[in-house]
Structure 1
Amino acid sequence: MSGTENIISLNLATTRQQWGFAEAVEGCVKAGITAISPWRDQIEAIGLDEAARLVREHSLRVTGVCRGGMFPADTAEGRQKALDDNHRAIDEAAALNADCLVLVVGGLPGSSKDIAGARQMVLDGIAAMLPHARSSGVKLAIEPLHPMYAADRACVNTIDQALDMCEVLGETVGVAVDVYHVWWDPNLAGAIARAGRMNRIFAHHICDWLVPTTDMLLDRGMMGDGVIDLKSIRAMLEEAGYHGPQEVEIFSKDNWWQRPGDEVLETIKQRFETVC
């Protein structure tokens, strides 16, 4: 990962309903935001070559590509299909010179109740894609998701679980610390410190947890509107040696996705200065 400056990165999910890739780049340039993190469907919609051209033309830093992963499957063919897709994701991240490819690892396959087996499939899947990632110069960032997603989206749910895998896999595999998913962890400070000692903090995602939350996937809050102690988590990360971008990733179907993109970015900038 290049640079240590603490800057805003816009995860393009935050303006998914308002803007495509090109419009989001234009909005960021207008707002003075110099880093982005696109999703693969947004890259596909505009084409990888055009996405890479826009990134180069505007000298944007790509803090991550979302997402690889989804490794567990109940057949060997399904696991191979996931591996093939992850190889394509690595190629996309390499073309954009991304800091990392974010991995949302997947949940229980089929009707399985074997979460330990699913986690082994994740470990095996990352190990299988690792040679291509290393030869392409792409770091892999495991993103632990809140336990509510353990069954369907991610059977890796704490930073410590992700770091256990990193210890097995080697130094080019790290973690993406998304406050929405880890703020509740009673061992958060210890886990972040451990990640720092291992030099495995590859990304920092921010938003807020609303009370009440009306939809666990699509009702994330703007920073400062919820209960997450963002400054404390940032202090933990900085104490652990991470001073890189804070990537704003907000899924908000009934609020922020309904507002003009320029308004969203201006609010992000204000909150970044006051509550992050």
Structure 2
Amino acid sequence: MTGGGKTIGVATRGTTNTNRLRRVDRWIAAHPAFRRSSHPLVVDLGYGASGVTVFELEHRLRRQQRHAHTSGHVRVLGLEIDPERVARALAQLRRVRDGETPFSPDARVTFARGGFEVPAPNGERPAVIRAFNVLRQYDESEVADAWQLLRSRLRPDGAIVEGTCDELGRVSSWVTLSPEGPVSFTISLRLRELEHPSVVAERLPKALIHRNVPGERVHQFLTSLGDAWAYSVPLSPYGPVQRWIATVERMRDAGWLDGMPRTASGRARWRLGELTVPWSRVAPR
């Protein structure tokens, strides 16, 4: 990383696919940092080779505001270090404005060059920063500094959602952080055709992916999750959702979810293929 008033970080690999980040978008749309904010600014940090995930994020968050009948309007700022990617996204934005895409011509989206310093207009502090598939290419030793810098840019009640997913968005995991530090860890899986939840091991956030070894908390978590999935196999004839709910209930009964608010880890979230536990249950030793 570099500093001294310059753009901080390195360009992401740039992999971008339509609908890839739908799972984390649903999480952000339901998070209090977004829902309780008037005219929230949401930052998509490191959106990649195309601005499509920025437009999708704005569309989903605007739809949530409309359904909730909330006042104010979400604004989404896409940040990329690579100036060519910014220019490409701005060209996409012009096509959106001209009505040549499925996105609303009045989408409240802007693009700019920036990194972990999060250069928001007029120094505004974002309600939410989404940093997906960004830190995966960094060393684990660099994660804490990146988190600290991002946290310093948040509103006092804001949130960072930092994680990774596979190319099609069927396997995701992320850490949610407040300005004070990491709060929770979430996995989100496409339940249809799910053979085993251990598939998420390949898509853990950088802070955890090298910690999936005996003696580490995240390894114990994934082992317990696999055992609960195996125990729930009798429910397979009723469909993958019912088996997953039974799996999560078993994890809950074992105390893994203790301390999580129901809004973040209730049955409605489980039906989406999610499981959220306090960060302390998986934090590196």
Range class of TM-score, shorter chain: 0.3 to 0.5
Structure with greater proportional helix content:
1
Largest Rg, 1 or 2: 2
Q: Which has the higher strand share?
A: 2
TM (norm. structure 1) is 0.36
Normalised by the length of structure 2, the TM-score is 0.35
Indicate the structure whose relative CO is greater, using CA pairs within 8 Å and at least 6 residues apart. Answer: 1
